[in-house]
Amino acid sequence: AANKINLIPQDFFAELCEQIIQHLNHKIPGVNTAELCQRIQTSGIELNVGDLSKIANIVSFLFSTAARNHLSTEELITTLSDAVSTLPKHAVQVIRHVWNEQGKSISESEDARNTATVGQFVDLKWKLGVAMSSDACRSLKYPYVMVALTVADPSGQITEKSFEMTIPQFKNLFRQFKEMAAVLETV
Amino acid sequence: QLVSALHRLTRHVVYRGLVRAEDILALFPENFHQNLKNLLTKIILENISAWRNEAQASQISLPRLVDMDWRVDIKTSSDSISRMAVPTCLLQLKVQEDVALCGSSPVVSALTVELSKETLDTMLEGLGRIRDQLSAVANK
């Protein structure tokens, strides 16, 4: 994966590192690797989401380990160069800059959010539709609810999952959520 | 040939949404055997709603929700915080990928999400708006 870092132009790599550090600082819910990858691909570079995710994970691990060990910028760069000699110079520069600016603020914040072991909910988008007709049924008139759930997975990367449900399913879902909220209130 | 013809007939009835005996009887040619015609029409009428539901269930669609489980936990401690009492909600949604693509062995994936009180309230707000829209549409 270190070789793939060569493919990423400096400004995109800087953006990735920025997002990672902001996520570690709890300023943003996660790193939007899919969206960033799409922009990288549009600019003509052949990089797939899987590789970008791996790179994001590595950098995230690098920063969080450095934070835990209270490394200064120089210590971080030295450790990095000792471990990975094939990193391109511009990547090292970006890491040095980002760590200098924001590395110190990844404190061991007394925060319940640090305990993420499953995906974290980020956003819910919805759409109500009626399927009018299909190849099997000319006059279908079948109502449904479409939901797109944005989730930050445990590694901090943002994914979106879409699914549809029938109206009775939706009503059941709503009821269950109200129950959950009620329990959360009383606990 | 017989099976194929019956298949086409039933598909046609479901497609056009024919529900009255007269409409179905009208599909048969003039000199068709009377009793057979009535028997077939009766059988078709009996099965029409089941076939229609089947057509609705197996139409192309995006992944569908098949199951939902939830649990409320209280986080009492972690490696960074020794004592706390933070209620949190774990939700597992089981989603079945496109039925039409999977054929007879559908792929079900599970999505596990953690929600805090704030995020749960956001979700509820969104769902409430869907519910309002539904009632608005139903009343039209």
Q: A148, A151, A144: which is closest to A121 by C-alpha?
A: A151
**Domain-wise residue ranges, chain B:** 1-58, 64-139
Task: Give B19→chain A minimum CA distance, Å.
Answer: 12
pTM of this structure: 0.71
Whole-number pLDDT of residue B1:
86
Tens digits of per-residue pLDDT, A57-108?
888 888 888 887 888 888 888 888 777 767 788 888 888 888 888 877 775 5
Contact A128 B130 (CB under 8 A): yes
Q: How far is CA B114 from CA A31, B84, B90, B95, in A?
A: 17, 17, 5, 17
**Distance between CA B132 and CA A145 in Å, rounded?**
13
In chain B, the residue whose alpha carbon lies closest to the alpha carbon of A177 is: B124
Could you give the residue ranges of the DSSP H alpha helices within A69-166? 73-83, 89-102
Give the residue among A67, A60, A73 at the shortest CA–CA distance from A23: A60
Assign A174 a pLDDT band (cuts: 50, 70, 90): very high
pLDDT at A139: 83
Distance, CA of A142 to chain centre: 35
In sequence order, the 6+-apart residues with CB closer than 8 A to the CB of A97 are A14
What's the rounded Cα separation, in Å, for the pair A47 and A4? 8
Domain map (residue ranges) of chain A = 1-111, 122-185
Query: What ipTM describes this predicted complex?
Result: 0.71
Give residue B79's pLDDT band: very low, low, confident or very high (50, 70, 90).
confident
* Cross-chain Cβ contact B16/A138 below 8 Å: yes
pLDDT of amino acid A11? 87
In this structure, the strands spanning A119-131 and B108-115 are parallel
Which chain B residues are Cβ-neighbours of A145 within 8 angstroms?
A: 130, 134
Least Cα separation, residue A174 to chain B (angstroms): 7
Q: Please answer yes or no on whether B120 and A114 come within 8 Å at the CB atom.
A: no
Question: Can you name the CATH fold of A122-185?
Answer: Nuclear Transport Factor 2; Chain: A, (3.10.450)
Q: To which H or E segment does residue B126 belong?
A: helix B117-139
